[in-house]
Copies of this chain bind each other. A is one copy, B any other.
């Protein structure tokens, strides 16, 4: 509905990175990052390379290499990830796809949809990787608890 496949991989991959990277260096290899998850190794590697080029990630080759955030997790927003992968201002088209619709030549739907679009943008702009990592940790703790209590099959999937 909102993100493409690669963008979702990126978000999940980055959240995993923040959660599980070596605390001292913040660094992690793709192979380590991927295991325990269902993220596709090669494809995610390509995506991370793109994120490195766009300046969200840093990387180094060779032994001891890997990826790490180019700046603190609380300074990387979902919007930045989104735009790095799907291009800038990719959320500004007319909702209903009428032709040549923008703020200067609006159709009435444009104005009706505007607050919704704005709300979404606010979410994307204020939610950071730090938040996502916290969410991921919370979710994992939650699942672990459920397994212990033995209710994990009740409403799985």
B-contacting residues of A (Cβ < 8 Å)?
Answer: 1-3, 8-9, 11-12, 15, 38, 78, 90-91, 93, 95-102, 104-109, 112-113, 116, 119-120, 123, 127, 131-132, 134-136, 138-139, 142-143, 155-157
Contacts and interface: CB of A to CB of B under 8 A. Distances in A.
Identify the 8 closest CB pairs spanning chains A and B, nearest first. Answer: A8-B97, A108-B135, A107-B139, A104-B155, A107-B135, A109-B135, A100-B157, A1-B91
Contact of A38 (B93, B99, B109, B134): B99
B97 A138 contact: no
A119 B122 CA distance: 14
A82 B76 CA distance: 33
